[in-house]
Every structure is written in C-alpha cells, then in structure tokens.
Amino acid sequence: MDASRRALLLASVAALQACDSESEPETSSTATQGANTDGNIGIQAAAALYLPYNKTVTKQQLLVDIDTKDSNFYYELVPYLERYQRTDRAIEYFLVHLGHGNHFCKEYFDNWITYQLANTFSLAVGSELSTVSNSIVLTHVSEIRNAVSKDQSIKSFMLSYFLSEMFWARFRSPEDNGREVLEVYLGKFQDDLVPKAAKILQNYAFIENTGSLQKGLNENTEPQFIDGQWLTTPTELYQYVVNHPDFLPHVYAHVVTQLYGAADVEVIASLKRQNIDSFRELYKQALLHPNMEKIQRPKYPEEILLPVIQTGQYVLRRDGFSTFLDLMDQVGSKPMLSKLERQKPDWNALNIGNLSSFLETLFSTEAGNFSSSWTYGYGQATYVALSQLAEQPADLLAKAHSLLWREPFTYDASFHTLIAQQDSTKDKVTAALRIAAMNYTHYQFSAE
C-alpha cells in the first residue's frame, strides 16, 4: 500500500479511535436520532443532494419525500435515455437521473445514494483498472441500488460484495484482497495477518483475460488463526470482517469522509451510537446532522451543474455530457474512476474558467431555442425572465446569480456598469451569466 493510501486510512482509524470515548452503541435507530430535523434543509446538504435552487424544502418534508415512491420517475426519462443511448454507461445514466429526474422521491434518493457509494472507499468502482469492464460496473451499481432500494442491511450486502467479481476486480490476488479487506474495512494494518488471509483465499483469483472471478478447486483446508478465531474458507473470512465491531464504523468513516471532505468525529460518533446498518439511514443521518452545514471542501462538479440545469429547466445536450465529463477529468475528479475513493476537484483559475464558460454557454448559446422539452435547450421562461431585466443590470445580475448558485452574494457596482455597457439584450444576459459563473468563491463549500 502506498504512503498516501496508508495515511488516508490511518486518518480514518484515528477518527474512529476518537469516537471510542463516546457512549456505548444503541440497539435501535430511527429516522431522527442524531439528526436535526427542524427548519429547512441547509445550503450544504441541498447542494450535496443536487436540489434545484428555486425550491425550498423542510427537513421533515424531505424525509417524507425520499421515502415516497414515484411510479413515473424512470418512465419519464426513457425518451431521453433511448435517444442518446445512455442506458449502458453508468456515469451518464446517473447524471441523467440525478440531473433531470424528480428530486423529491424515493427513486431519486436510491440513485443518489448509489452514485455516492460508488465513489467511496467502501464500494469504489475503479473503472481506471483494466480489469474493471463496463459489464462489471453496471452489475455493481445495479446491485448497490437494489440493496439501497430494499433497505438491505449493510453487513448483508457487503458480505455478498466481498464475494463478487467487482471486489476481486479491484483487488485481484489472494494477497492483495486479503490485505485490503482487513485494512480498508477494519483498520488492521498487521502484515502478519496477510499470509493467513491469502491462504484462506488461495483458490480465488481474478482472471484478467476472461474478466471474471475464478474459484478454483484448490480450496484451503488448513484453519488460520485470526483475531481469536479459526477461519478456513473465504466466506468465513468475510463473515468475520462484516461481523467485527470495527466494520460498520469504518463504513461510516468512508461515507462521511467522502460527503464531508474529512472524517468528522462527531458525525461518526453519532452513527456509532445508533449502530446504523442501513445505507439509507446512514445517508439521512449524515445529511441532516448539524455539522453538514459546517463542511469546508471543494464542490464536486455535479454539485454545481446539476442544480443549475434543474433550476433553469435545461435539458443537457448529448455533447454536453461529453464536455462535462471531460471537465470532471480535467479538474481531477472524474466519478467512478478510482479503485480507492474519488479525488477532490482542483478549482484553480483555469479549471474555474473552463467550467464557468460551460455554465454560461448552457443558456447564452441557445437563446431562442424554445422547442419541446425533449429537445436540447431550456424552457422559454428562463431566458425571458432574464431578458426582461436587461435594463436593470443589478436585478439582472442577481437573477443570473440565483440561477447558478444557492449561496447569496452581493456584487460590486462595477459589474452592473459592465452589463449596462453591452449593446444588445442577449449580450447583457450573457454578461450577467458570465460574471455570476466566474464567482470563484462558490466553487468551495465554506462553513456558514
């Protein structure tokens, strides 16, 4: 294991150790334990959920909505998926459903959780690996979503995951797999355990030229003594892992680290007290914990784009997907790429400039394209609302800002002057969008 990975895992271990001073775990959990359910959902949580800017929802209502089924959620997006052939490409499939689907239903939350988990250390996809085929990726995310939808226990699902082709495509040899399952999920950095785990897993191997997990006839028959237990088969090893008292806390730590940008000790301690064994409940608690509004990390690109296309009633072009994925790659944060966890984006001046240009051109290059909802572009009302403010630069800029950002901001009067100097209505609208899109302060989450 390289130094950076070891440092990351050790940081999670340290956070978990800091939680040990908290009270003993409770035996049950509810939808509100440990979470603040008063008032409206906060700015940070709303952004993480990709909620549109023009809708306000209370925490209590959100909890109701994300448990309420919408029978049309998938059906309404079928024309879009069929037209642009996005059903067999996982990243774009999720962008379609998370960007254009009804945000206030169970199906949306199922897909959102699946997408988040596929970018965590616990269930990373690792499409960067030659062993991870598109078929394996689709099977993996489908199984995650089914588990989330059915509220399957974390332990039960993770046991099946450890025995899957996806896990073995990430960590291919008995030695590598045995080391990772102990280090990543239990925090056991003990080199003496690796040969024992490898012995147990000796008849398992991922065969690269066939792209499949091979379970050979050379099964281990010699029990290995690990942590006070005699273990012989792969299933016994993985059962030991998921039933270990440190297993769920490590899953919590990986989820919180991805969502918060760091292993927040208070949030992890709250999850431990409740002994949560459900991905749905885990994410509800993490999103509604008071510390969610204190997170400080770079925003992921989709936390910027997806609320915008919902707020502006925009339907992303086919080539828009390709451009956006290229931008994600450029900022060093392409989803479902790493076999470890997704990297945080690097919002340097060049990357902000490129994404801001993309945001601006979503609206400015297609002014007047007011065709059907399944054609490229956006609703007429969005552009009309902006153009009607062309002679009121301050109001126009405020409107453009509200289209692109959830956080409030007061612009210097010099920007109003710049907008007023533009010749045409379209130029004024474009200038306002460009100024708002270049607001670098909003490419980061900052504590309220």
Strand partners, 377: 315
- pLDDT on residue 380: 65
- Three-state SS for the chain is CCHHHHHHHHHHHHHHHHHCCCCCCCCCCCCCCCCCCCCECCHHHHHHCCCCCCCCCEHHHHHHHCCCCCCCCCHHHHHHHHHHCCCCCHHHHHHHHHHHCCCCCHHHHHHHHHHHHCCCCCCCCCCCCCCCCHHHHHHHHHHHHHHHHCCCEHHHHHHHHHCCHHHHHHCCCHHHHHHHHHHHHHCCCCHHHHHHHHHHCCCEEEECCCCEEEECCCCCCCCEEECCEEECCHHHHHHHHHCCCCHHHHHHHHHHHHHHCCCCHHHHHHHHHHCCCEHHHHHHHHHHCHHHHHCCCECCHHHHHHHHHHHCCEECCHHHHHHHHHHHHHCCCCCCCCCCCCCCCCCCHHHHHHHHHHHHHHHHCCCCCCCCCCCCEECHHHHHHHHCCCCCHHHHHHHHHHHHCCCCCCCCHHHHHHHHCCCCHHHHHHHHHHHHHCCHHHHECCCC
What is the distance between the alpha carbons of residues 86 and 96, in angstroms, rounded to a whole number? 8
- pLDDT on residue 281: 98
Strand partners, 314: 378
- pLDDT on residue 189: 96
- pLDDT on residue 21: 47
Strand partners, 226: 229
The residue length of the chain stands at: 448
Q: What is the pLDDT of residues 312-366, one digit of tens each?
A: 877 777 677 788 999 999 999 999 999 999 999 999 999 999 999 998 887 766 5
Can you list the residues of the chain whose pLDDT is less than 70? 1-35, 83-87, 318, 364-380, 447-448
What is the distance between the alpha carbons of residues 93 and 82, in angstroms, rounded to a whole number? 11
Name the token pair of 130: 């030659």
Q: What interhelical angle do 380-387 and 425-437 show, nearest 10?
A: 100
Q: Distance from first CA to last CA of the chain, Å, rounded?
A: 37
- pLDDT on residue 26: 42
- pLDDT on residue 388: 93
* Domain spans of the chain, in order of start: 3-294, 301-443
Q: What is the pLDDT of residues 150-203, one digit of tens each?
A: 999 999 999 999 999 999 999 999 999 999 999 999 999 999 999 999 999 999
